[in-house]
Amino acid sequence: MIYLDNAAGSHPKPTVVANAMYRAMTELGASPGRGRHALARHTASLVEQVRGQLARLIHAPDAEQVVFTAGATMSLNMAVFGWLFPRGGHVLSTSMEHNAMIRPLRSLEQQGRIRLELLQADRWGYVDAAELLHHIRPDTSLVAISHGSNVNGAVQPLEEIAAICSRMGIPLLVDASQSLGLLPIDVQKLDIAMLAMAGHKALYGPAGVGALYVRPGMELLPLLSGGTGGQSELPAMPEEYPQHLEAGSLNVCGIAGLGAALDFLEAADPGKIYQHCMKLCAMLADQAAVLPGVKIHWGRKDRPRLPVLAMEIYGFSPEEAAEALDALGVCVRAGYQCAPLAHESLGSLEQDGLIRFSPSRFTGSEDIRLCVLALDKIIREKDGSR
């Protein structure tokens, strides 16, 4: 099997991830911070260690500002509802967002709580930072953008956008689901207010675990309320982080897996993984572009992009192409990739989206060669049947 759907969830995981999860499952069954016994303390110390690893990765000023969640969707919902529900105002986002960002924003818009304005990306998927400046209003209460596109890999000009937000005093929410683990992110240097992280993509952790970084001083209404393992006498959620946003029992097993994944990532060097995956995407783009009827959508060559490449193949619907490739053992993602508005910008909405290819640290050049052969075969067979 050739797995090229790593932007949805990386596979395989490093062996150390499965080992750490097994160890957590068999040896660390206690609820962290909820008992005075040794097992609860050991479990809590593992959780805090992983929190520290994530904080180092994003250069957070304080590990306590990193809150564990069930994934980037939950992180984005917590950020969007937690910040905007009590405040309202005008919100700027982009046409390149995943539904995990757009749907919570739209929900608040439909409730009449915010005015949502979406900056349209160009046909390569990039938004213009100067245009953002133009659209800021006196009551703009949030700028919400994804760092790198999960559709065609376009990487937004985060430094410029962050500099504008910082200068204007507008909180910036960044969805780093696709970029974290591939590109460096420094939340302090960029003065990012909130950063959503997914554990199961380029961080190589398991699904069902993610995190939200919240800048000190941001006042967020907790989306969830419940037990926090301490200060149980309070009628409401404690003010201190991470407890303020961390209601309920944590996914210790997932957090243990994420910790091992972050160790793996550090040892493998995210910069080297990025170069490896970019080289594979460049191979795929070069070799597939000469096949009849193939059009590549992969950001722009002269702009930053992620190793997430999409294609359209003349005469195939994306679903049909993905099923034909699957029959040859190649796993790719077809359709809108949960980002329908991005396809409007890229011009692929009418044709039901695109086929997406995303390699990982575990993909090799032989996988790409076989994928191109499979593409060639499905195209030739289709041509033969016409």
Ligand X SMILES: Cc1ncc(COP(=O)(O)O)c(C=O)c1O
Query: Which of residues 98 and 343 has its CB atom nearest to ligand X in the complex?
Result: 98
Least separation in angstroms between CB 90 and ligand X: 23
Least separation in angstroms between CB 214 and ligand X: 17
Q: Of 247, 266, 150, which is closest to residue 198 (Cα–Cα)?
A: 150
Other C-beta atoms closer than 10 Å to the C-beta of 226 total 10
Least separation in angstroms between CB 280 and ligand X: 19
Residue among 175, 246, 312, 367 that touches ligand X (CB under 6 A)? 175
Residue among 14, 32, 71, 318 that touches ligand X (CB under 6 A)? 71
The contact pattern for ligand X, residues 118-157, with x = CB under 6 A and - = no contact, is ----------------------------x---x-------
Residue type, 198: A
Cβ atoms of 252 and 28 closer than 8 Å: yes
Query: Which of residues 74 and 220 has its CB atom nearest to ligand X in the complex?
Result: 74
Query: Which of residues 149 and 375 has its CB atom nearest to ligand X in the complex?
Result: 149
Pairing mode, if any, of strands 210-214 and 66-69? antiparallel
Total residues interacting with ligand X, rule: CB under 6 A: 14
Residue among 21, 60, 80, 100 that touches ligand X (CB under 6 A)? 100
Least separation in angstroms between CB 148 and ligand X: 8
Burial of 26 (0-12, 13-18, 19+ CB in 10 A): exposed
Residue 283 in tokens: 């191979």
Query: Which of residues 72 and 330 has its CB atom nearest to ligand X in the complex?
Result: 72
Phi, psi (5° rounding) for residue 89? 95, -165
Residue among 20, 47, 55, 72 that touches ligand X (CB under 6 A)? 72
Residue among 73, 140, 228, 251 that touches ligand X (CB under 6 A)? 73
**Which parts of 7-36 interact with ligand X (CB under 6 A)?**
8
How far CA 270 is from CA of 50, 77, 184, 194, 361, in Å, comes to 17, 27, 8, 22, 9
Least separation in angstroms between CB 286 and ligand X: 25
Burial of 350 (0-12, 13-18, 19+ CB in 10 A): exposed
Residue among 65, 178, 228, 348 that touches ligand X (CB under 6 A)? 178
Which listed range, 66-74, 155-163, 226-234, 266-274, lies at the site for ligand X (CB under 6 A)? 66-74
Least separation in angstroms between CB 98 and ligand X: 4
The contact pattern for ligand X, residues 192-221, with x = CB under 6 A and - = no contact, is ------x-----------x-----------
Residue 174 in tokens: 């960044």
* Residues making contact with ligand X (CB under 6 A): 8, 71-73, 98, 100, 146, 150, 175, 177-178, 198, 210, 338
